Structure 1
Amino acid sequence: MTPQPTSVPANNTNCSETPYKEWIITVVPIYILLITALGIVFNVFVLVVFWFHKKPCTVAEIYLSNLAAADLVLVSCLPFWAVNVSNNFRWPFGQFLCKVVSLGISMNAYCSIYFLVLVSIDRYVALVHAMSFGRMRSSKDAKLGCVMVWGLGLLLSIPTLIYREVKTECNTCSISSQNASVYKLFQGLLTMFIFIIPISVISYCTVKIIQALNNRLQERSNKRRRERKATSLVLAVVLAFLICWLPYHLFGIVDMLENPNQPSVNPAVLGICLQIFTYLAFFNSVLNPILYVIIGDNFRKKVKELSTQWSSGVTFSMVSLRSNTSTTTVRR
């Protein structure tokens, strides 16, 4: 299950009523716009540092830069959702944007978790199997893996692109009632691919990484210290993702398994919980760049070097401009 612009439930035939508390309609749009502004600034900053630094990105940085790109896609879609929520969950942007915005949000959820799978596997290989598989960690393979993840994210989002539409009765961007059962089947299959399998791989790699770090605490080589620092950042990013996304996925599974005719959980309570945990999941797109700055020693070093690089370039340009001006004046 993936977060999407939530509409009124299908069993609510009165479009003038909303099943959500008033604060969701009034407060949530402000929160979403704040997340949008911070997410765009922070993730663009991360991408600028990774892309324009004179040194090529490491394998882990390639994965983290693509994760920042996925977060940027998400926050770019959120303003449409903010307007949708403030409009009492009535979608004013038409069918095309209903599908495209939903596609962008889905791709973020799918791609983000698989970029974390790749970066977790990279850290696992670097620390646990460095001697046997270390040479397989090439930038070329990492870029190919990222392309495959983007393709997988697009492929998994096809059901969202097909079944998400603007309902004429309430003008909501949601799954049509005649396709709800088919889409629910797709969601059950997707739960396996976007939650159970990735989380299992990440958990296994994380346990092995922590064990390897504990076994190598006494090693003092510069290479080992760099590996530990890079791994600490990855573990922090993984932990932040789990904290932000795990509640949503768990409640999404409960919602998917619920019998609409005989619900075991109050639908209003479940709907509000899903709303809250969806907005918590969105905060992850802002949290990642903050972790890069706080924990990522190598990232902070790149920021300083890029700042120096650009300052030197500006200084050189100013000196050249002054020199050319002086030469022109002398010739006159």
Structure 2
Amino acid sequence: MAFAILAARELGLRCATLWTASACGEADLSNGHLDTKMDWIPGMPADLRLRDLPSVVRSTDRDDIMFNFFIDVTATMPLASAVILNTFDELDAPLMAAMSALLPPIYTVGPLHLTARNNLPADSPVAGVGSNLWKEQGEALRWLDGRPPRSVVYGSITVMSAEHLLEFAWGLAGSGYAFLWNVRPDLVKGDAAALPPEFAAATGERSMLTTWCPQAEVLEHEAVGVFLTHSGWNSTLESIVGDVPMVCWPFFAEQQTNCRYKRTEWGIGAEIPDDVRRGEVEALIREAMDGEKGREMRRRVAELRESAVASGQQGGRSMQNLDRLIDEVLLA
């Protein structure tokens, strides 16, 4: 928050700011404007499009609250003593040099859920404390226990219209794979999330619907083969640690940018168009689960997982960066 940085400077205190979105994320129109190339952003690919940038940056309303909040926060970040990023060096190395030229010292300490799990003492009062605001349903893990390796599609997507809910539902059903899907009560904008009886009849025992679940554990379960996701950053890191490629339907914030990087820079994801159709959902899931592109995505995500796990261990790069942050900034 910008006010915290300003308050720290006024009081003469050191202040390290935690950027909870992705590093690439720091950095609707139908007239082709969103395909405009953004080849002038330091550290970003030359073929980046306007549609690949965070939604608040693409706002056409310069009085938009979130747009101005975003501008205020990013303008204030150079005043901090340090910037902490929830990522690991091997994932975002090309961006670090460009960001380092614009910001205070940067410390990559992620994936945070992994570094916390590996390095907190078992008797720590915050050990095992999660960040979910929804009640997790443990039966999802028990349901996965009876499934073959890499045979299940796990889905957790942000709010959508009732029409899009049906397209996703029938796309999952038509794929032929077993699936575990989080269908929260608030999933549909302005209405309750409801699926027709024939959907349950068509999917039978190969489907399980939940309102929430322990996502990091689900993604690390050997039965999960693909993650159908809105492409949030925490979900992205959890999927990498779980060794699971992604089929993405980005919605807001920096999800579009995350999706773009997963699709073209890291090679670990595919993208569903904004106006989702069941045939596209079905085809992308099948390709990600058993197609040639899916095998390549699985190979790439396995490489990134290896780097993430190494970074989050005692003595790993992220833990070294955390020690440096304490010594060089907080205790200096």
- The answer, yes or no, to whether TM exceeds 0.5 is no
Larger Rg computed on CA atoms? 1
The interval holding the TM-score normalised by the smaller chain is under 0.3
* TM-score (normalised: structure 1): 0.24
Q: 1 or 2, which has the higher strand percentage?
A: 2
Q: 1 or 2, which has the higher helix percentage?
A: 1
